[in-house]
């Protein structure tokens, strides 16, 4: 099976029903996407497939059609994506375990909705759980990221 992740092609020998999350984590060693619930309920595993946010625990490897981007492909510590920069500036993270998924959801959302309303932000972010309760700061960071995108 073939999979393109963060611009790199991989030849894989896995059963097609293995969820993408476990291909990424255990087969490819790409550890940014996190396991939280395994059932599409928390969003910790969120990645992009051709730019759309997808729960990697709930899509199987065989179902993936398109290029996969994980948080590692979004930006890096030395060259962070706008969303990541906003997350740094607002010091959003507590434990940080949910934040890869939060940022991937936010990045996909903002790329499609560059000037979001409050209720659009709410709708977009409400599927991602944060047990530490960083929602207030996520909210500010999403708004900052939207402004930064506009300013570009």
**Minimum CB–partner distance for residue 5 and another protein (Å):** 13
First to last CA, the chain: 39
**Minimum CB–partner distance for residue 8 and another protein (Å):** 16
Q: Tell which one of 98, 104, 121, 125 touches ligand FES (CB under 6 A).
A: 98
Q: Tell which one of 3, 5, 48, 70 touches another protein (CB under 8 A).
A: 70
The DSSP code for 34 is -
**Alpha-carbon gap, residue 143 to 117, rounded angstroms:** 9
Considering only residues 92 to 131 of the shown chain, the ones binding another protein according to CB under 8 A are: 92-100, 103, 122-123, 125-126, 128-131
Stretch that binds another protein, among 2-10, 16-24, 108-116, 144-152 (CB under 8 A): 16-24
The DSSP code for 82 is H
Check residue 37 for interaction with ligand FES (CB under 6 A). Answer: yes
Q: Select 89 or 115, whichever has its Cβ closest to another protein.
A: 89
User: Please, what is the Cα angle at 81 between 148 and 140, to 5 degrees?
Assistant: 50
Contact 96, 131 (CB under 8 A): no
**Minimum CB–partner distance for residue 1 and another protein (Å):** 14
Q: How far is CA 47 from the centre of its chain?
A: 4
């Amino acid at each position: 099976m073939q999979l393109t992740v963060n611009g790199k092609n991989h030849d894989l020998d896995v059963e097609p029903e293995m969820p993408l999350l476990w291909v990424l984590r255990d087969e490819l060693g790409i550890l940014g996407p996190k396991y939280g619930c395994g059932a599409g309920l928390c969003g910790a595993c969120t990645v992009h497939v051709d730019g759309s946010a997808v729960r990697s625990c709930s899509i199987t490897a065989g179902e993936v059609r398109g290029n996969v981007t994980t948080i590692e492909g979004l930006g890096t510590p030395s060259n962070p994506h706008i969303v990541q920069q906003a997350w740094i500036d607002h010091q959003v993270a507590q434990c940080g375990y949910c934040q890869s998924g939060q940022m991937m959801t936010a990045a996909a959302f903002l790329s499609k909705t560059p000037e979001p309303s409050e209720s659009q932000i709410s709708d977009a972010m409400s599927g991602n759980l944060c047990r530490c309760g960083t929602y207030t700061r996520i909210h500010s960071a999403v708004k900052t990221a939207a402004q930064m995108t506009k300013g570009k």
